[in-house]
Structure 1
C-alpha cells in the first residue's frame, strides 16, 4: 500500500528543510491475556520545527498511543515497530533506554491530559520543576530556583516566586495545566507533545492555555504534536491536520483546506455532529456506533461499519491513499478521480413543532443561599465563609431546558445539589409544584425524590463499580418503591436500556466494560427509572467525543419531548447551550449576572462576562488567521473574599469607580432579559 507522508506545510523545492520528526510505518501491538491489540497500525507523518500537527479523532482511535510510541513510553506488554522514527535525524529506535531518558523531558516535552493525576501531590511545584532542570540542564540550587521562577512567569502564573513553594492542590485546574506546561518546557524541548491539553477546562482557561502554547512555540521554534478531539482547538492551533480512525490515518490536509471541505466520510460526520444554534430544530447528525475493537483483523476499510456511503468494495479491500493537491485521503470514494459530491448526505428530519401554550413551572427557586464556613485552629473556629451561592433565583418549566453557565468555581454544581436538597441551603426557597422543600427532613423529602433526579459529571465515579448496570438502574426504583415487585423493576430496567441505545442483554455487565458515553447513558437511565419530572444534569457532556456528545444530546432531546422533562443543564460549553437550551442563566461568583432566552443571552449578550465567555469559544473558521497570542485574563477571584462592588470588576474592561463601589441592581431589558451591570453593552435600559 502506498504511503503518504504528512508535512506541516508544502515547501519550495529550492528550500529543502529536514523534518524535526519523521515517522514511517509506526505500529504498536499489545499482547493481552485474550487477544493481540493493534492500537497503531502503520502511521506515517513528518513535522517541522515551529509548526503544529493536530491528530484528530475519537477516543480509541490511537492518537495518544501514537504519542506514547514516539516517546517510547509504551507498557512492557507492548511491541513497537517502525520503518523510521527519527527526531532531528537521530534514530530513536536505536537509542537505549538510558539514552531515551535523556530525550524524554529534554528534547521531547509532554503535556498530559489530566494535570491533577500527572503532578505529584506531595511535592512542591519547585521540587517537580527542579527535577527536570537537574536531569536535563544540570541546574541546581539557586540557579534552578531562578529558572523555575522564570518558567512559571513565562506561563502566566502571578507571584511566581511565592507559588513555587505551593503544592498542586493549591492551584486551580487551569493553573495546574500551566505548571505542567512549565515542566514540559523546563528541558528546552525541540518537540512538544500536548495530549488533550484543554479537555474539560473552562472556555476562558482553555483559550489562555492555547494562546500560551502558541506564544511559547513561536518564541522557541518548537514543533508541536497536538492530540485532541475538539475541532475548535484544531482550528485555532493547527497548521496541518491528520485524522485518525481505528489506528490509521485516514486524511491529512492543511488546516484551511480541511475546515473548508473535509474529504473523508468520517471527518465529515465529525463536523455534522457539532452542536450550534442553527441546528436547534432538528436532531444532530450523530455518527452511530463506536470505534471498532482493535483486536480484530480488518479485511477492508476500518470505517465501513459506520460509513453512510459504504460500498461492497469497502468491506473487502482496504483503501489506498488518494492525493488531492496538498491533501490526501484514504477512501475508495476518491479512486479514479471520483467527485467529492458523492459524499453529500441528507440532514435528519426536523423535530415536530412544539405544542403552543404557556410553559408550566415545575420548580421555582428564590433567593437561594449556600455558604460554607471556613474553620481554622485547634478548636475549628469559623474564620470566614465561602459564599458558593449568594441569592440565586430561577424557574424550571415542563418540557424546557434552563442552562446554567459559568466558569468552574462559580457555584453551578452547588446550585444543582441544593435544589435536590443534597446540600442544605442557608436561606431561600425551593418549591416543587408549589410545595416548599427547604427545611424538610430526609423522611419528608423521600416522596419528592422521585420527582427530581441528578446526572453527575463523571459517570465512572457515580456508578458503583461492584454492581451490574441492571442492579444500578433497579436500585433507585427499589429504594423509592417504584414497581410492584422485582420482576416489574427488571422489565422496566431492560426497557430503559433499550431506550438509551444499549441492550437488555448487557444488564449483567459492569460499568468498567462500557465506554464513557455509554456510562453516561446508563447514568441517565438510572435517573429516569423513577419517572422524574426534573433532571439536573451536571456537565454530562464534558470530555466526551463530539460524536458521543451528539448521540447523548439527541437522546436527551427525545426524552424531553416524550416525557415533558424539565432540565437544569449545568455546563461551560456554550456551543451545547446554543443547541439545547431554551433559557440561559449566567453565573459568576455565586450570583446570576444575566438571564433570559437563549437567543437573547447568547445572541446579544449585554453583560461583559457573558461576552467574555462567548469570545473565548474556539470557532471553526476556514479563513481564520494563525492563532494570535494574548495575555492571560485575570483568574477567577475566590468566593471566600469576593471583590467589593461588582464582583466582575477586576476582570472587566469597562469597570469604573461605580463598579468598584457598589453591586449593580437588576436591570430589565426587553423580552424578560435580566442582568446585573452598571454599564450593559449594546442595550439601553433605565436602572431598576
Structure 2
C-alpha cells in the first residue's frame, strides 16, 4: 500500500553538508547579460530536505545546475562558493568534478522522457553510472542495477532491466531516473520538479519513495518545486526564490503558518480550492521581471500590493524574525503579520442548476486500437482506450474529466474533435452527429471547438514567432477585421496570460515550459471558440501563473458563455473551476456528478484514493508512517487485457468475489450523482438501468 510519509523534525546538523554562499550565475547573450542566480546563499544538513520554491523563471533550476557545474555554454559562475562537506566544488578541476557529479551529488531532472537515452536499455544507463562512480562492471553491476530498480519500487526488476525507456510509464521513468541518481550513493540528492505532470497517485508513490530512500541513506535533499502541497509534505526547511534571489527562508511549519514575504503570501492566496469557486483567485499580477537588468530596489515591487517609494529605490536587507528570515522593507520595525486565515469550508458559489440543452454531447463513445502481429499484420487483439463514455457539454459550464495517466482522458478529447477516429458511438454538435463525417462537414464544429494540447512544445511551430502562432488560427478562420485588430487581440491575450506583448516576436524555444503552455492556451482562445477541450492545461504551471490562467478562463466563460471540457489530474483546480466532474478509469467513467457532491462525498473507492493522494498545504503536522491509501500501488492494468468484472478490483481494498466476475451497473444518488460500484452504498442509493 502507498504510505503517506511526512517529514517531521530536523536532523542533527552540527555542520551543514552543503554550504552555498553568494552564488552568482551570468549568461552572456547578444542583447546583454542575464543574471538568473544573483547572490544566493543557503545550506542543507545531512538527512535534511530544503525546498526551493518559486515561479518559473526565478532561478531555481539554474541554481541546481550551477551546484553540479552543468550550466549551458553561454553561462558561467561569476562568484560564490559551493562547499560539499567542506570542499569547494567550484574550485575542483573537471577531472575530479566528474566524480562528484552523479557520485557525491545525484540529480533527478524535471523531465525523465528527455533525460533518459531512448536508444539505451535501462540496464545500460544504470550500469554506466555504476562503472563510473563505483567501478562495478559485468555481473556485479547488473546485480546492483537490479537492486536499485527494486529499491525504487519497480516490479519484476530483473526482467525490466532490458527494457527501453519508452516501455515505461511516466511514473516508472521517474523511478528509473531516481535509480540512476542513487547509483553513485550520493550524499546530496537534487530533485528538480520530480513530480511535475505526474498524476496524484504516482506523485504520492514517488514522494514516499524519496522520503524512504533519504531516511535509509541519510542523504541531504534539495527539492526544487512550485507545488506548495509537495513542500508541505516533504521539506524540513523552505527557501522562497524570486527573480534570481532568495527572499524568505525558514522551517516548514513556521513558513506555512505565517509566510512573511508579500510574494510568499501571494503564492498561498493563488491556491485554488472549492471555497473560492465563483471568485477570482488573488494571483500576483504580471510576471517575473526579466533578469537582464540591474535592480535598484525590491524585485517584487512592481507586483506587490504593499509596495511604497522606498521599495523602488533601495534593495531591502535581510531581517531575522525568530527562526524565519525575510528580505523586505516592511519588517524594518520587526512586526510579524498575522498567520494566514483558514479558508472557508463551505460549498462556495454554486451556479444555477436549471437544465440546459447541451451544445456538444457524446454518447457511448468507444475508441479501440487494433493490435497487429506477424508478417501479414493480422489483428490479434485491440486496446480499448475508450470503452463506452457518455458526456454532455453545456454553454457556460465546465465538465472536468479526471483519472490517472493511461485511463483514456486525452483520447476522449481527441476523439471529440475527430483527431482520432471513433470506433463506435455518437458525437452530437448542435444535435448533428459528427462521427464519421467528412472534413468539410466537420468545419463548422472545428470552428466552434478548440483544443489545448498537453505538450505545448510539440504543438507549437518552432519556425514561427509566437505572435504568428496565435494569429495563424485567426487568419485562417477569418477572425478579426484586419491585421491591426488581430495584432491588438494577440497583444491583449499575451498580457492576460501573464506574458508581455513585446514577447510576440520571440520563438517557442525562447520560453520556459510553463510559458509555452500559456501560449498554446492563448492560441485556442484567439479564435473565439464556444467549446474548449483543455488537456492538462495547468500541469506545467506554477501556482501564480495557474491562478492567472484560471481567472482568465473563468472570466472568459462568464463573458462569452464558453463550455469547457477540462481534462486534468489536479483535483484542487477541479474543485475551484468545474461544475461537474467525471472520474475515468481504464476507458470507462466510474463516477460522475456535481463537483461539490463527488469531491466532498466520493462514492467509488478509486475516487477516494485519488483524493487521499493529493498533498495538502493545510496538513503540515506529523502523519504516521504507513497510513495507507485505499488503493494498491500497482500500475494501471493494460487496456489490452482489462481485468474481468470491475476493472478496478485488483487495486481495490474493498473488492469481493462479485467484483471479480461482474462489472457493476450504474447506481444513482441524490442530485445527479451516480457511481458504478458493488461496494455497499447508503440506503439513499437506488439502482438505475444502464
Instruction: Report the TM-score range of the alignment, normalised by the length of the smaller protein.
Output: over 0.9
Unaligned runs of 5+ in 1: 1-7
User: Given the alignment of the two structures, is residue 286 of structure 1 paired with residue 283 of structure 2, yes or no?
Assistant: yes
The answer on whether the counterparts of 1:56 and 1:227 sit within 8 Å (CA) in structure 2 is yes
Shift of residue 606 of structure 1? Answer: 0.3
Aligned to 1:327: 324
Determine the C-alpha separation between the residues in 1 that align with 2:510 and 2:114.
22
Aligned to 1:119: 116
The answer on whether the counterparts of 1:388 and 1:414 sit within 8 Å (CA) in structure 2 is yes
Determine the C-alpha separation between the residues in 1 that align with 2:664 and 2:452.
34
Unaligned runs of 5+ in 2: 1-7
Determine the C-alpha separation between the residues in 2 that align with 1:258 and 1:556.
30
Range moving further from structure 2, 113-122 or 619-628: 619-628
* Matched position secondary structure for 1:364: strand
Range moving further from structure 2, 323-332 or 450-459: 450-459
Aligned to 2:180: 183
Shift of residue 519 of structure 1? Answer: 4.0
Range moving further from structure 2, 415-424 or 332-341: 332-341
Shift of residue 684 of structure 1? Answer: 5.2
Determine the C-alpha separation between the residues in 2 that align with 1:444 and 1:388.
26
User: Given the alignment of the two structures, is residue 210 of structure 1 paired with residue 207 of structure 2, yes or no?
Assistant: yes
Aligned to 1:659: 659
Shift of residue 445 of structure 1? Answer: 1.2
Range moving further from structure 2, 393-402 or 529-538: 529-538
The answer on whether the counterparts of 1:133 and 1:187 sit within 8 Å (CA) in structure 2 is yes
Determine the C-alpha separation between the residues in 1 that align with 2:198 and 2:182.
21
Aligned to 1:549: 546
* Matched position secondary structure for 1:543: coil
Return the match for 1:91 from 81, 88, 93. 88
Shift of residue 239 of structure 1? Answer: 0.4
TM norm structure 2: 0.93
Return the match for 1:600 from 586, 597, 603. 597
Range moving further from structure 2, 217-226 or 58-67: 58-67
Determine the C-alpha separation between the residues in 1 that align with 2:402 and 2:676.
15
Determine the C-alpha separation between the residues in 1 that align with 2:593 and 2:322.
48
Deviations 1:163-188 (A, max 9, x none): 00111111001001001111111111
Change (3 A) 1:468 1:69: closer
Aligned to 2:639: 639
* Matched position secondary structure for 1:361: coil
The answer on whether the counterparts of 2:233 and 2:620 sit within 8 Å (CA) in structure 1 is no
Determine the C-alpha separation between the residues in 2 that align with 1:84 and 1:490.
47
The answer on whether the counterparts of 1:363 and 1:397 sit within 8 Å (CA) in structure 2 is yes
Aligned to 1:314: 311
Change (3 A) 1:533 1:305: same
Aligned to 2:143: 146
Range moving further from structure 2, 261-270 or 678-687: 678-687
Change (3 A) 1:682 1:460: farther
Change (3 A) 1:674 1:355: closer
Aligned residues: 675
Aligned to 2:155: 158
Shift of residue 681 of structure 1? Answer: 5.4
User: Given the alignment of the two structures, is residue 167 of structure 1 paired with residue 167 of structure 2, yes or no?
Assistant: no
The answer on whether the counterparts of 2:497 and 2:548 sit within 8 Å (CA) in structure 1 is no
Shift of residue 622 of structure 1? Answer: 5.3
Pairing 1:462-541 to 2, within 5 Å after superposition = 462-482=459-479, 508-514=505-511, 516=513, 518-541=515-538
The answer on whether the counterparts of 2:248 and 2:326 sit within 8 Å (CA) in structure 1 is yes
Return the match for 1:434 from 420, 431, 436. 431
Shift of residue 468 of structure 1? Answer: 3.5
Change (3 A) 1:523 1:110: closer
Shift of residue 40 of structure 1? Answer: 1.1
Aligned to 1:3: none
Determine the C-alpha separation between the residues in 2 that align with 1:75 and 1:511.
18
The answer on whether the counterparts of 2:10 and 2:236 sit within 8 Å (CA) in structure 1 is no
* Matched position secondary structure for 2:332: helix
Shift of residue 525 of structure 1? Answer: 3.8
Shift of residue 159 of structure 1? Answer: 0.4
The answer on whether the counterparts of 1:607 and 1:680 sit within 8 Å (CA) in structure 2 is no
Change (3 A) 1:504 1:101: closer
Determine the C-alpha separation between the residues in 1 that align with 2:431 and 2:13.
74
The answer on whether the counterparts of 1:237 and 1:627 sit within 8 Å (CA) in structure 2 is no
TM norm structure 1: 0.93
Shift of residue 423 of structure 1? Answer: 1.3
Determine the C-alpha separation between the residues in 1 that align with 2:351 and 2:155.
51
Aligned to 1:275: 272
The answer on whether the counterparts of 1:334 and 1:340 sit within 8 Å (CA) in structure 2 is no
The answer on whether the counterparts of 1:404 and 1:571 sit within 8 Å (CA) in structure 2 is yes
Determine the C-alpha separation between the residues in 1 that align with 2:123 and 2:400.
40
Shift of residue 463 of structure 1? Answer: 2.2
Aligned to 1:5: none
Change (3 A) 1:22 1:634: same
* Matched position secondary structure for 1:641: coil
User: Given the alignment of the two structures, is residue 575 of structure 1 paired with residue 572 of structure 2, yes or no?
Assistant: yes
* Matched position secondary structure for 2:359: strand
